[in-house]
Amino acid sequence: MNLVFICDPERYPHADNDIPVCYKAAARDPRIDLFHLPVAHVTGADEIDVVPVETGVLSHEAFLNLNMAPRRVMPVASVDVMFCRTLKPFPEGHLDRLGRWIGKTRFLNHPLNKKIQISAGFLSQLAPDYTPETIVTGDASSLDAYLARHGVVVAKRPNSTNGLGVYKIWREDGRYRTDHVHEGVRDFPDGRALLAYVRGEWDAVELVRFLPRVTAGDKRVVVVGGDIYGAYIRRSASGHWVHNVSSSDSLCYPAEVSDFERQAVAATVPLYRDYGFHTLGYDFLLNDDGRWLISEINVGNIGGIARLEQLTGESFMDRFLDWIVSFAERPAYDVAAVGLRKSGRR
């Protein structure tokens, strides 16, 4: 089968990162002809400029240099499966350009529906029973009302990752304060000024009740094709409330998946599948009542498979590749038509 991975390899200097580990496993697999597509070569044209990856051992150095390796032209229609691992925030027009290939190839995650999925409020609308209280607003009076109700809240920007668009907000001595993993604590005279800062270029953000037991860490549950592969907890060694692996000094521990978390996955997987999303990275945070609630569901470029291998010694990457091979055998409409119907929703 012809498998195309899209990413910019130089973003992954560490050989144990999920993306290089996945490239290397796919390169070794005799069932797979692996091709690399640099992010800048996602043009939407019917022919693509890909780097064929030789079957066998892919060294980390060769991985890092893939964007400069010799390329060849190939029709999109001859690609069985495309897996986009572009990092958020996506380049302008990236998802639309990928979207021109819908119907010509199979995507592990429907690129046009991704536009809907990364918009504010998507998850909390789909899964209110499994997420902390959330509103979407850019308005200072709604912020005041939400702060009065919950005391401390978290604002989240859309299209963000690694804790970079996440701000803790509270009131103190008549002032408004925020805390951000890199920008630290800031002080504002009123809610309007604070919102202008946390919104950035966006009209609205998600406001979520702050979960004080976040100190327990952030539980990642890796779900592929509806199957739970496993879970681990990331916790910042310094005790910072932001636990993402790449934004802090976080440590990882293997974790169990409770019945409640399985219910949360079972309730959301079919909804995400209807949008054409098949590789999911759930982030759960500990609620006051001892249950873990879904903080976000990452779609597409999920990390965790390589981490699960490190933590458990089991070969999850092989399981993932087996699943990709079976995905390539599905009728194309199975993975394209459903998504197309839904993409016009907003």
Ligand X SMILES: Nc1ncnc2c1ncn2[C@@H]1O[C@H](COP(=O)(O)OP(=O)(O)O)[C@@H](O)[C@H]1O
**Residue 154 binds what, of Mg ion, ligand X, none (CB under 5 to 8 Å, by partner type)?**
ligand X
Q: How far is the CB of 163 from ligand X (least distance, A)?
A: 4
Please tell me whether residue 295 adopts helix, strand or coil conformation. strand
Size of the site for ligand X (CB under 6 A): 23
Amino acid at 9: P
The residue among 105 and 124 lying less far from ligand X, judged by its C-beta, is 124
Q: How far is the CB of 336 from Mg ion (least distance, A)?
A: 28
The residue among 110 and 156 lying less far from ligand X, judged by its C-beta, is 156
State CA 45 to chain mean position distance: 26
Q: Which stretch binds ligand X (CB under 6 A): 18-26, 204-212, 304-312, 338-346?
A: 204-212
222 makes contact with ligand X (CB under 6 A) = no
Task: Tell me the residue ranges of DSSP E strands in the chain.
Answer: 2-7, 33-38, 47-53, 72-75, 81-84, 106-107, 134-137, 153-156, 166-172, 175-180, 184-188, 205-209, 218-224, 227-236, 250-255, 279-286, 292-299
The answer to whether the beta carbons of residues 118 and 156 sit under 8 Å apart is: no
283 makes contact with ligand X (CB under 6 A) = yes
The residue among 9 and 132 lying less far from ligand X, judged by its C-beta, is 132
206 makes contact with Mg ion (CB under 5 A) = no
26 makes contact with ligand X (CB under 6 A) = no
| Residue whose token pair is 């998946």 | 257
**291: Cβ contacts below 8 Å, ≥ 6 apart:** 258, 260
276 makes contact with ligand X (CB under 6 A) = no
29 makes contact with ligand X (CB under 6 A) = no
The residue among 81 and 118 lying less far from ligand X, judged by its C-beta, is 118
- What is the distance between the alpha carbons of residues 275 and 67, in angstroms, rounded to a whole number? 30
296 makes contact with ligand X (CB under 6 A) = yes
Candidates 296, 56, 268, 40; CA nearest to 162 is: 296
- Interface residue list for ligand X (CB under 6 A): 132, 154, 156, 160-163, 165-166, 208-211, 214, 218, 241-244, 283, 285, 295-296
